């Protein structure tokens, strides 16, 4: 049985990494996908894969930090699909530096995309879900939101903020038939981690009880659960996908 049959899902940051894996996983379960990203070429590649799988899919070039752009994209999705039932707030960026070296621009850029971007997308989509009396909102936090990380003041602040917003929105939207949850991935193998030296990767994986990095598909599977009706009574929670990294 298809768990998301004919559901319409927006996936931000859907052009690569966890977002791409999520788009493909959702398509396997029968969802129709709106891929939002700033990377047009990679986004269109994902849409082609999804269409070849037989699902309806469109790409929208969206900078989630720009509310006007987000609202316009929501209107376009409604025009193209007629409804929105699932929002996966997955888009995120890194601009790492220690507190002493971090610039105001580095701080603001990460907060604008990772935190304000999630606010923008949810604010624009929520009225559509409220009108329909149904919705699934899932956002990407991070293991670092729960215990911090050297050199990531901006990233940790944004991902901790997402945990807080998730709990607020779960309270506000729960009575409207909408659930809001977050996923906190740990050390996941993505394009971002390909630049990390092998020695560092070895040191980090040795600290994880599962003794390996996670895969993007393993995160996508948790997004799928929270976006499905199987998770209809899961609301306001943060699920760690980290191989036991927070233990």
User: b/e string for 51-80 if b means 16 or more Cβ within 10 A?
Assistant: eeeebbbbbbebbbbebebbeebbeebeee
Give the integer Cα–Cα distance in Å for 235 and 179: 5
DSSP 8-state class, residue 38: S
| 2: number of Cβ within 10 Å | 11
Cβ contact 104:165 at 8 Å: no
Give the integer Cα–Cα distance in Å for 90 and 74: 16
Q: Who's near 232: CB < 8 A, 6+ residues apart?
A: 179
Catalytic residue chosen out of the listed positions 67, 134, 155, 233? 155
| DSSP line for 69-132 | HHHHHHHHHHHHHS---EEEE-------B-TTT--HHHHHHHIIIIIIHHHHHHHHHHHHHHHH
Q: Who's near 80: CB < 8 A, 6+ residues apart?
A: 34, 58
Told to judge if 223 belongs to the known catalytic residues of this protein, a careful annotator would answer no
Nearest to 91 by CA among 71, 109, 79: 109
Active-site positions read 155
């Amino acid at each position: 049985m298809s768990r998301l049959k004919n559901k319409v899902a927006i996936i931000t940051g859907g052009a690569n990494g966890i977002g791409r894996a999520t788009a493909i996983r959702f398509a396997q379960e029968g969802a129709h996908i709106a891929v939002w990203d700033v990377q047009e070429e990679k986004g269109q590649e994902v849409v082609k894969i999804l269409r070849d799988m037989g699902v309806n899919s469109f790409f929208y070039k969206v900078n989630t930090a720009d509310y006007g752009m987000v609202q316009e994209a929501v209107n376009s999705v409604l025009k193209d699909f007629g409804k929105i039932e699932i929002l996966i707030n997955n888009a995120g960026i890194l601009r790492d530096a220690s507190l002493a070296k971090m610039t105001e621009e580095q701080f603001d850029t990460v907060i604008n995309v990772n935190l304000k971007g999630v606010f923008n997308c949810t604010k624009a989509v929520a009225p559509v879900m409220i009108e329909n009396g149904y919705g699934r909102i899932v956002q990407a936090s991070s293991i670092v939101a729960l215990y911090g990380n050297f050199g990531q003041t901006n990233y940790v602040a944004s991902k901790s903020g997402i945990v807080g917003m998730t709990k607020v929105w779960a309270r506000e939207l729960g009575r409207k038939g909408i659930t809001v949850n977050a996923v906190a991935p740990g050390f996941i193998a993505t394009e971002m981690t390909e630049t990390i030296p092998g020695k560092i990767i070895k040191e980090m994986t040795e600290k994880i009880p599962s003794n390996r990095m996670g895969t993007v598909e393993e995160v996508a599977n948790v997004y799928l659960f929270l976006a499905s009706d199987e998770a209809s009574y899961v609301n306001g929670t943060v699920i760690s996908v980290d191989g036991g990294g927070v233990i």
